[in-house]
Structures are given as structure tokens and as C-alpha cells.
Amino acid sequence: MTIFKNEDRPIWAPWRIDFIRGEKDDQCFLCNKKKSKYDCFDEELVIYREELVFVILNRYPYNPGHMLVSPYRHVGDLTQLSDEEHLAVMKVTAKMQELLECVMQPEGFNIGLNTGKSAGAGVEDHLHMHIVPRWNGDNNFMPVLGGNRVVPEALNATAQLLREELKKMA
């Protein structure tokens, strides 16, 4: 069996250059989503909004359809959420699971929170629920041998499909 090194087989991700070359700030990317007066869907990847929470596609997904459900309020721990925020996060998470089942037909889900740096939280101080659709065999040779994941559909295309189905569900 031949094992290819990353330099032997380049992986193209041209959309990453804007992030690499762009200005970096210390602002919370989740807080920036709530500041939008309008949703520039192609850039923001916002899927759904309610009064207390919103949903975006993960820009660096583990699998296609990987979503984040987040309260608008900047809190880093479940204990800091109000009862209304707790309920809203869970209800919207269930709604998004139903949406993903309808649009993407996954065979399962990983749904959960990472709170704190040692638990793997990429954004330590703004709580967000991950919803990751899963399929048998979705963890193939690419991440195992090459340390890379393959997402077979552009994020904007996935976002558009999900938004269209949400309109039908309403």
C-alpha cells in the first residue's frame, strides 16, 4: 500500500486565502454575526435566526452540514445561560437536526458543546452547540492518512439548500 504525503498530492482550498491574508481581530466571530443589520448569506453562512439564538454553518466543518447553534449573548458556559436561552438553544438544535435529516439524510449525528480550552473549545468564551451530520464510512482515508477532510459541497450551496428547506418547513 502506498501512503501519499500531503506534498505529493496538493489539496486545493482557494477560499482560505481571504482568511490567511485578511486582517485578524480579537473580536468573537459569533458576536460579529449578531451585529449584522442584514444577512449577507454568502459571506456570513447564517442559516436561521430567532430572538435569542442563531444558526450558522461551520466555516471549517468536520462534515458537510456541520452547524453551530449559538446564543446571541456572549457567554462561555451553560451555567451563564438564562432559562429562556437554554430552551431556545435546545429547541433550535432539535429543529436543525430535523432540517439536516430532511436535506442531507445522515445516518446519525454528533451533537454537543465544547466548554473550556482543555475540552477543545475553539471559542472559549462564546458558547455554541455543534451539530455534525454523520454517515457510515464518513471518516475515510483522507483524514486518517493525510490529516485532511474532504467536504464535497461548497458551503454556500449547502447553506442555500438548508434555507430553502427551512422555508418549506415554516
Active site residues: 128
Instruction: State how far the alpha carbon of 150 is from the alpha carbons of 3, 33, 99, 144, 156, in Å.
Output: 17, 26, 22, 12, 16
For the beta carbon of residue 84, count every other beta carbon within 10 angstroms.
12
Positions of E strands within 26-162: 46-49, 53-57, 67-71, 108-113, 129-134
Q: Tell me the C-alpha distance between 6 and 158, whole Å.
A: 27
